[in-house]
Amino acid sequence: MFWAQFFPLLIMIIFGMMNFDKYASPNVGIYDAANNDASQALILALGGTSDEELLSVTTGTLDELHNELEFGSSRAVIEISTNYGISGEFAEIKVTYDERFQQERAVVSTILGQVTDAVFKEAAQVPDEYRVENSIGVSETLITGQGQGFKAWLIPGVAAMAIMQTGLFTVVFTLVRFKSEGVLRRLKATPIGACSLPRRATHDKGYRRRRANLRTCHSGSHRAGSKRWRWKNRCVVRPNDPCTSRRSTIHSDRSRSFRLG
């Protein structure tokens, strides 16, 4: 019941609440060798505004950043050369991508292209027609990082879904078979509740409490030697019961004039 009806609903709700449409800005490590006003302006521009984040920028040493790229925690390393922002000099921006993440590569590449264009125009304050394209050059390098990439989550995902489906169908078909054969009907005749099927064999407090209500009755109103049991406040006939006989207690009979039925 749970797996067949509520579990799919649960999954739908969980996945519905995840927002897949949201743009997740790629992690990019930037090594700023120039470390001047111009390069800091460029980094700020790449980060985007608080309303619209372009890239998620981290800074650090070149080794650290390449290490992050190698092991998949960032998608690109942008290295700004020392002569960036010095007028008249050709500044090269070296970008390293992980070839496994082509989509992120395209995103970073596009953003970088547009931002450098805009920065150049602003810094040089020249009309478009006089723009010198190559005073900032972007060079790209591709590396293959370590780890499994998208296979790392696709394969366990497929395996998990296969197991889930098998489990789901097995449970459903078994229950249907039990129902059609009449096994469930026989179980209905036992004191277990439909919901407590799996836990019944171990414990059920309510049932034990009800069993505990059965006690031997020692009121004087019965024929000597006849076995009487008390159920709550009533006196009932009850033959030997291994479950309750060990609980038998003597207690006074408050309602002597009892009636059955």
Partner 1 sequence: MTNAIDPVIVAKDLRKKYGDITAVNGISFEVRPGEVFGMLGPNGAGKTTTVEILEGMRDADSGEAIINGINVKDDPTAVKAMIGVQLQQNAFFDNLKLSEIVDLYAKLYLAKVDPVEVLSRVGLDNRKNAKYAELSGGQKQRLSVAVALVNDPVVLFLDEPTTGLDPQARRQLWELVRKIQAGGATIVLTTHYMEEAEELCDRIAVVENGEIIALDTPDALIDQLLSTGFKPEKRVREANLDDVFLNLTGHDLRD
Enumerate binding residues for partner 1 (CB under 8 A): 178, 181-183, 185-193, 200-201, 204, 206-208, 210-211, 222-223, 226-227, 231, 234-243, 260-261
CB of 260 to partner 1, least distance (A): 5
Spatial separation of the C-alpha atoms in residues 103 and 26, rounded to whole Å: 10
Q: Which is nearer to partner 1, 7 or 207 (CB)?
A: 207
Return the amino acid letter for 62: L
Spatial separation of the C-alpha atoms in residues 55 and 48, rounded to whole Å: 7
Q: Which is nearer to partner 1, 99 or 181 (CB)?
A: 181
The two structure tokens encoding residue 53: 């984040």
Beta-ladder partners of 142? 97
Q: Which is nearer to partner 1, 121 or 234 (CB)?
A: 234
CB of 107 to partner 1, least distance (A): 57
Q: Which is nearer to partner 1, 18 or 189 (CB)?
A: 189
CB of 222 to partner 1, least distance (A): 6
Q: Which is nearer to partner 1, 93 or 217 (CB)?
A: 217
CB of 203 to partner 1, least distance (A): 9
CB of 186 to partner 1, least distance (A): 6
CB of 228 to partner 1, least distance (A): 9
Contact between 141 and 161 (Cβ < 8 Å): no
Residue carrying structure tokens 């960036």: 84
Dihedral sign of CA atoms 12, 73, 79, 45 in order: positive
Return the amino acid letter for 159: A
CB of 189 to partner 1, least distance (A): 4
Backbone φ, ψ for residue 85 (5° rounding): 90, -5
Any residues with CB less than 8 A from the CB of 193 and at least 6 apart, and which?
Answer: 200
Any residues with CB less than 8 A from the CB of 147 and at least 6 apart, and which?
Answer: 71, 72
Q: Which is nearer to partner 1, 121 or 186 (CB)?
A: 186
Spatial separation of the C-alpha atoms in residues 5 and 111, rounded to whole Å: 46
Q: Which is nearer to partner 1, 185 or 251 (CB)?
A: 185
Q: Which of 76, 86, 195, 188 is nearest to 135 (CA)?
A: 86
